Structure 1
Amino acid sequence: MSGVELPRWADLILLPLLNLLLALLVTSIVILGVGESPVAALRALAVGSLGSADAVGYTLYYATDMLFAGLSVAVAFQCGLFNIGAEGQAYVSGLGVALVCLTLGGLPAGVLVPLAILVGAGFGGVWGAVPGWLQAYRGSHIVITTIMFNFLAAALMVYLIVNVLIAPGSMAPETRDFGANAVLPSLGWLGFPGSTPVNLALPVALLAAVAVWLLIWRTPWGYGLRVVGLSADVASYAGIDARRRTVLVMALSGALASGVAVNELLGVQHKLLIGFTGGYGFTGIAVALMGRNHPAGVILAALLFGALAQGGAELAFDMPAVPTELVILIQGLVILFTGALGNLLRPAVGRLLATRAAALPKAG
């Protein structure tokens, strides 16, 4: 079924949209099963995520994390690598951000914040490059090593926060505040209420998406990367060092995942604490799958998952009878129909488009 060829617009837009509608249809059946109105629940979900400036601000805040994580996974996919480690890479990136902010907090904000971002990206890049090196030069499978590195990152961060970096006299496993200079400006000047956490990390994430598109689709290096993803043997025949590309793309993937740490630590929390990544690295896998590993698609998928995260919180208040796990169910169904069952509707869409194309000359 996956062999059915579709126009690019149908593959990138129409098919994911139909899969999303199918997921919402199944969700509606579940809502009916608990005795509630699907229309009312989906309306509450939409209003809770897009119905006010405050709601939109929170939606964009969640979408920022998911965009960084989705780009991280998508870049690795272009090289044929399934990076499961964005969660750990983002976590370790937070260590780099925190070390800069805690030790150099007296620097001006215009120097401190960019430096923290660069160091965080470096920490994430190194943490991502190690599994890439293990795959390229030692034959270790990238899926296994990145999963293992998630656990290593979690254990390392817990130890450091609890035993080394914890604020003096604090019972909570977190560092002291970074200080007034280590803050990403909010986007209140765009009309968002001051209470919303959306900040300058959002335009940075959008710029990162543009940069990824330019790198992967508009440079010789990116072309070679995609060749490696399609066939390492062909790449080797063409003189492309597949092993070196593997290490570099995993480093790039880890650096992109650091955006989660930037958004959370510099934009919202202003201190390093356990579990600040919140599972966004894993959600990024679904975002990349739904976005077809293309930056434009990843942006749209991140907005969708951000809306689900924010709308689900509001749904719990508006309709207490609807289980709070409903949002997780919707996300799971979206992942199911865009990932494992992503080609379920492909033959039908292909036949429909072929029939329409055949009818156009007759109509002319």
Structure 2
Amino acid sequence: MSDNKLTAEVAETKPAPPSRWNVALNEILSGSIIISILSVVLALVVGAILIVLVDPKVATASGYFFARPLDTLGSMWDSASGAYSSLFQGAIYNFRRPDFASGIRPFTETLNFAAPLIVAGLGVALAFRVGLFNIGGRGQMLIAAACAGYVGFAFDLPPVLHLVVAIAAGLAGGALWGGIVGLLKARTGAHEVIVTIMLNYVAFYLVSYMLRTPGLLQAPGSNNPKTAPINPNAILPDLLGTTYNLNFGLIIVIALTVLVWWILSRSSLGFQFRAVGENPNAARVAGIRVDRMYIYAMLLSGGLVGMAGIIQVLGTVPSGFSSGIDAGIGFDAITVALLGRARPWGVFFAGLLFGAFKAGGFAMQAAEGIPIDIVLVVQSLIVLFIAAPPLVRALFRLPTPLGEHKPVSLRKPKLKAVAR
């Protein structure tokens, strides 16, 4: 066989490179944004099935399914569509209200619920980018809330100064509680998951003790484990007046989202964070102080998560708070960070979605009698589908990312025998 014929035979076995458009389409269809959107869609579909299964009207109609099948199908549609319609009207816009000002009130409730979720999700996402798993949101929120609340009711300062000092105290408390984790991780190698879990309990029982102790956090002359009302000078001002439950905390959250985006995308500190998150050993060889990055990251993460507690204390419940101030936000923030793919703006929109679930879930329960637990199931399913991208790709027949393709064949190319 001549060399030219051998080269031609081998060249025939090599696949043609994909075109520019195929590569672009593959990146779009296999990207994280599409996976996140389809995960939400799948969770809503499964949620609709659960809504139908628990609706007594559907159960009644299914009793005579073979006699009148359309009645059962219509009841199933009415159940699912009615529930999601109530969810929309309770979270975005209520068409039953007489004017726009009252109809848009549900959206302001969504923003009110979303603000602490977004800022706590930003803190968890920042830790993710450095390779740390911060599940100590509950403890960081409680400590930040205790610090901000104490300054808020125990001091009497001028209006703007009082609010600034209270926020600064809360940020310092949350950053300190997160910094302990980073310091132990950097100096001793202690696993951040174990440390944050333990610090959650420490913070909870410490704040509970202070709420039951006169002279610390407990309101003077009260036997209840609750603080005194926050001084009006330290309360976050309303954005749209007293008609809506929306305060200046939303503006702070938007500003912090921009700040975190800038840190991670445009600053040298963010570059070092990302380098450590990708490969700490390679970052160490490149001259990056990995131990310092762990400390800095947990300081920032704890401060951001603590801001969620500050917003609640100084804005949502200024009449005084108890040890249940976190209301599960510390753990919901992990879900928000996962859904947002640990990207600041992704976390922002994921927080809006979960805020809509919280605001609309109560309306769905009140209007349709659907258990609020269904909303929690939908949230859990979103995380499940996001954690299993191959499952989502298989259900929607999406292409696999080009970098994950396996070779078509590992065997040597067969050469046809050529007669001399």
- Normalising to structure 2: TM-score of the pair? 0.78
The 3 A distance-change label for structure 1 pair 159 and 28 is: same
Deviation at 1:69, TM superposition (A): 0.9
Question: Secondary structure at 1:7's aligned position in 2?
Answer: helix
**Retained in 1: the 8 A contact 2:27–2:401?**
no
Gaps of 5+ in 1: 355-364
Q: Compute the displacement of 1:196 (Å).
A: 3.0
Report how far residue 216 of structure 1 moved.
0.8
Long gaps (5+) in structure 2: 1-24, 59-78, 94-102, 404-420
Match of 2:180 in 1: 130
Q: Does 1:300 align with 2:349?
A: yes
Aligned to 2:248: 200
Aligned letter for 1:150? Answer: N
Matched residues in 1 for 2:258 and 2:275: separation?
Answer: 21
- Residue 123 of structure 1 aligns with an amino acid whose one-letter code is G
Larger Rg: 2
> Shift of the alpha carbon at 1:39?
1.3
Rounded Cα–Cα distance in structure 2 between residues aligned with 1:297 and 1:243: 28
Cα deviation, 1:66-107, whole Å, max 9, x if unaligned, reads 001100100000000010011210110011102212332x21
Q: Which has the higher contact order (CA 8 A, sep 6+)?
A: 1
Q: Deviations over 1:121-169 (max 9, x none)?
A: 0110010011111111111111111111111110110000111321122
**Aligned-residue CA RMSD (Å):** 1.9
Residue aligned with 1:188, SS: coil
CA distance in 1, matches of 2:28, 2:200: 35
Q: How does 1:206-221 map to 2 (within 5 A)?
A: 206-221=254-269
Give the number of equivalent residue pairs: 343
Q: Which shifted more, 132-141 or 62-71? A: 132-141
Distance 1:330 1:196 in 2: 27
Give the superposition deviation at 1:8: 6.7
Match of 1:341 in 2: 388
Q: CA deviation at 1:353?
A: 10
Q: Distance in 2 between matches of 1:100 and 1:343?
A: 50
Q: What displacement does 1:260 show?
A: 1.1
**Equivalent residues in 2 for 1:1-364, closer than 5 Å:** 7=27, 11-35=31-55, 37-51=79-93, 52-104=103-155, 106-163=156-213, 164-188=216-240, 194-270=242-318, 271-320=320-369, 322-338=370-386, 340-346=387-393, 348-350=397-399
CA pair 313-262 structure 1, distance change in 2 beyond 3 A:
same
Structure 1 segments (4+ residues) deviating >3 Å: 351-354
Question: Structure 1 counterpart of 2:239, which letter?
Answer: L
Shift of 1:171: 3.1
Q: Which amino acid aligns with 1:325?
A: D
| 8 Å CA contact retained: 1:291, 1:300 | yes
AA aligned opposite 1:84: I
Amino acid at match of 1:19: S
Kindly tell me: are residues 243 and 56 of structure 1, through their superposed partners in 2, closer, same or farther at Cα, counting changes over 3 Å? same
Query: In the TM superposition, what is the alpha-carbon distance from 1:53 to its structure 2 partner?
Result: 2.0
CA distance in 2, matches of 1:142, 1:6: 36
The TM-score normalised by the length of structure 1 is 0.90
Q: Percent identity among equivalent residues?
A: 35
Q: Counterpart of 1:359?
A: none
Whichever residue aligns with residue 81 of structure 1, its letter is: L
Q: Which digits, 9 at most, give the CA deviation of each residue in 1:250-275, with x for residues without a partner? A: 01000001221221111121233221
2-side partners of 1:10 and 1:352: how far apart?
Answer: 6
Report what 2:6 is aligned to: none
